[in-house]
Amino acid sequence: MVESQDGTLFVVSRRGVQVTPTHLGYLTEENTFRTLGFQVFEVDLSTNKWSKIQNLGNRSLFLGFNSSLSVDASSNSQCKPNCIYFTDDFVDSYWYLADEEYVEARGKDTGIYNMKDGSIEPFFETNPFHPFNPLMWLEQWF
């Protein structure tokens, strides 16, 4: 769930596929997750109905393990409008540091999803992996 600055409430569903790490030369029983896309629904609390939306307009949504937020992209030139920024939420890969199987998965399911054309692009030029913490969104409050 994400609430925008104007009070609009969104429910976001992440679509993906399980990926089995194979870098050790054998298949493991542990799976990771790779994001393929998102579905966004606007919630009308007065009628208790959800409406699927195809366009976020000037909004950018930020989704992650620690928090989710909505940003007006027209007032922030750093954000792309009509996009969903997402971080890797497969936190098990961070909690089981000794398991070599998780090395392939840590911090890699991140990107920017374009609502218009369904494309996903990276938002890091290098691998964002940190051995102890998943990526987090920080929101500036004034």
Dump pLDDT digits (tens) for 60-90.
998 987 778 898 888 877 889 999 999 876 6
**DSSP bridge pairs for 70:** 61
Q: Where are the alpha helices (DSSP H) in 68-129?
A: 92-95
Contact 85, 78 (CB under 8 A): no
For the chain, the farthest-separated pair of C-alpha atoms sits apart, in whole angstroms, at 54
Q: What percent of the chain has pLDDT over 90?
A: 32
Query: Long-range contacts made by residues 128-134, C-beta under 8 angstroms, separation at least 24?
Result: 131/94, 131/97, 131/106, 132/94, 132/97, 133/94, 134/64, 134/65, 134/66, 134/87, 134/88, 134/89, 134/91, 134/94, 134/107
pTM given for the model: 0.75
How distant, in Å, are the alpha carbons of 60, 80, 99, 134 from that of 76? 10, 9, 40, 25
Over 60: is that where the pLDDT of 141 sits? no
Spatial separation of the C-alpha atoms in residues 113 and 4, rounded to whole Å: 18
| Coil, strand or helix at 6 | coil
